[in-house]
Chains A and B, each alone.
Chain A
Amino acid sequence: MRKSLLALAAGLLLAGSVGAASAAEKLKVGFIYLGPIGDLGWTYQHDLARQALVKELGDKIETTYLENVPEGPDAERSIEQLVRAGNKLIFTTSFGYMDPTLKVAKKYPNVHFEHATGYKRNPNMSTYSAKWYQGRYIQGLIAAKMSKSGVLGYIGSFPIPEVVSGINATMLAAQTINPNIKVKIIWANTWFDPGKEADAAKALIDQGADVIMQHTDSPAAMQIASERGKLAFGQDSEMIKFGPKTQLTSILDTWGPYYIERVKAELAGTWKSEDTWGGLDSHMFAMAPYTNMPDDVKKMAEDAQAAITAGKLHPFKCPIVGQDGKPVECKGGDHLDDGQILGMNFYVKGIDDKLPGK
């Protein structure tokens, strides 16, 4: 009895965590996911991209994924598991897999690795990420136009450069519309806790914010904004289902084209270690349809999107003034360079808050 119970439990766990297709002689491509594929956010979008990959190249490749893989040293075993299963190209889809991926990559030089949002590379390990701050800039424009109270609510996950640059891009854009715009920032100190994200959204709305933006992964904030009759932006994926009259737009992670391109290179034998940081122009992400806003705001958003895509508008165009009132050094000519954005650890002027750890 005990044995059969254990076997049942083991079977259920396996069924829940490993999905595999089978065929011989095909290129095996593996994926490591942070959350469950049903998270409707970060991992969900990676899996959509994997499905797009299978649809495009399904006759030549075979994909495997491991979901719910915790970040940190434990990830190493999961990545090695994929290597031993014969995967020749492995995508590790979260920042925290950086060191484990590098470690496994050094151990298996004949296997190619692709790590999302990190900065460490190896001859057999590429990195890829998206310039989400471009999308945040467009959201900032919309938010400033749509806010009646002049107070935006921002739910952050952790005060890391990616999130900080998003807040700055939002505010720089919003200030071009309303120089006195305010932002209230709440750090949830988690990427995913629907209850806490909902509580944060409630707190922001109760304190006067009427447009909610989030850099956490669940649709809870959207749903609260919808309940309270406010406006909000989605995150990672389409969240309009949770706020049909609430969602203004959402930054959609669209990894599909990149995955297809990299797998094609692998198949052709031309894969090499690269660092890809793509924006709207290279379709690393997309904007969900602009909804719940007047036509002039929609047009403004579309124009901004077109200008950013064409390279005519840079969200971090100089001069940029920090909270201390001093201009930030402009290393990229007329805008901040990639290094400054990737390592951003300051707030721009007009953010009435203190960056944690500063």
Chain B
Amino acid sequence: MELVEAIILAILAASTPLLIAATGELVTERSGVLNLGVEGMMIVGAACGFAGAWLTGSIFIGALFGIVAGTLMSLVFALMTLGLAVNQVATGLALTILGIGLSGLIGAGFVGERITPAAHLTIPGLTDIPLIGRVLYGEDAFVYFSVALIVGVWWFLYRTRAGLILRACGDNHVSAHALGYPVLRIRTFAVMFGGACAGLAGAYLPLAYTPFFIPGMTAGRGWIALALVVFSSWRPGRLVIGAYLFGAVTILQLHAQGWGVGIPSQFMSALPYLATVIVLVLLSRARTGGSTAPAALGTVFVPDR
């Protein structure tokens, strides 16, 4: 029983950065912008988040630093792709390369330092319930926030007028523009939201997961977040399932190795990506139900003034 609880705890921790980053990217893509720079924004968020926490001693301020850093990175992206109508794919890739270099520069002075990781909730009585106590009542603030975040995004996208307008920009920016909506401004906010989430997801790593900063510590999680958005077919509900599924595969394959289950570890490491491909195939085959990409995703929009 203790082992099951430990595994669930590890899965939640491994899934949280993926969920936060993917939630942000989902909103960005729903507005019609493809930002491939998630990895770059995450790693800068990690460096700045650690710097903030180390300098002030506060995990909360560290998280804020991460959010601000990710947002600033995304503003560079917004300036290029929305302001100057540069190709989104190329800019996103460049943003990742820039982020990796920049984070090394920012973090250089903090390598080898360590901080006290984010505190876990304890409610006497509740946290001690076997099996579910620590899972439900003993997580760190990031885990609870990530759940609130995706619920909030779902509510925003499907239950508010602003969410409807944002989705309209993503599906047909010409019509949205003709109706008088400020497409580029809306997209800028969506990109900034994506950046803030990526920054926070990056900051989660040195603030709660492994409480130190090392260049390159995001190790590809930004790319997994991007795959997750596709996996979810741009729907918040499926995104939650996907994020925990990816986290579960990551953790369970490690346990399977420890138990000596005879499946090659290389194959299990590849499982999340394989799952994404399979889902894509299934989606393209299922004509009904499966929501496809926002129609205007990745296309440049220059309003005719």
Contacts and interface: CB of A to CB of B under 8 A. Distances in A.
A351 B298 CA distance: 52
B214 A218 contact: yes
Interface in A190-215: 190, 192-196, 198-200, 202-204, 206-207
Nearest to A218: B214
A356 B267 CA distance: 11
Interface in A237-252: 241-242
A140 to B, nearest CB: 19
B205 A187 contact: no
Contacts of B101: 12-13, 16-17
A323 to B, nearest CB: 12
Interface string B99-114: 0011011011001101
Contact of B114 (A184, A198, A242): A242
Contacts of B295: none
Interface in B168-211: 205, 209-211
A352 B262 CA distance: 12
Interface in A309-331: none
B100 to A, nearest CB: 8
Contacts of B114: 223, 241-242
Given A187-B265, A223-B114, A207 B217 contact: no
Nearest to A353: B260
B254 A223 contact: no
Contact of B210 (A5, A13, A198): A198
A202 B257 contact: no
Contact of B214 (A16, A38, A354): A38
B98 interface: yes
A162 interface: no
Contacts of B6: 202, 206
A24 interface: no
B215 A39 contact: yes
B1 to A, nearest CB: 12
A202 B247 CA distance: 14
A203 B214 contact: no
Contacts of A9: 94, 98
B215 A2 contact: no
Contact of A204 (B17, B84, B102, B258): B258
A51 interface: no
Contacts of B76: 5
Given A203-B254, A206-B3, A223 B210 contact: yes
B300 interface: no
A234 interface: no
Secondary structure dominating the interface of B: helix
Given A195-B217, A206-B6, A12 B102 contact: yes
Given A12-B98, A12-B101, A356-B265, A196 B212 contact: no
A185 B257 contact: yes
B217 A194 contact: yes
B238 interface: no
A36 B108 CA distance: 9
A35 interface: yes
B276 interface: no
A141 B101 CA distance: 42
B136 interface: no
Contacts of B87: none
Given A36-B215, A189-B269, A194-B210, A203 B251 contact: yes
A40 B84 CA distance: 40
Residue among B84, B210, B259, B265 with the highest chain A CB neighbour number at 10 A: B210
Nearest to B260: A353
Contact of A195 (B84, B215, B221): B221
Interface centre among B14, B76, B97 (most CB of A within 10 A): B14
B281 interface: no
A243 B265 CA distance: 28
Contact of A193 (B104, B219, B266): B219
B163 interface: no
A219 interface: yes
A356 B104 contact: no
5 contacts: A16-B101, A194-B209, A203-B251, A207-B255, A241-B114
Interface of A: 2, 5, 9, 12-13, 15-17, 35-36, 38-40, 68, 153, 184-187, 189-190, 192-196, 198-200, 202-204, 206-207, 218-220, 223-224, 241-242, 352-354, 356-357
Interface of B: 2-3, 6-7, 10, 14, 17, 76, 80, 84, 94, 97-98, 101-102, 104-105, 107-108, 111-112, 114, 205, 209-212, 214-217, 219-221, 250-251, 254-255, 257-260, 262, 264-266, 269
Given A193-B220, A195-B209, A195-B217, 12 more contacts: A12-B101, A12-B102, A13-B97, A39-B216, A186-B258, A187-B265, A187-B266, A194-B205, A195-B14, A206-B2, A206-B10, A356-B264
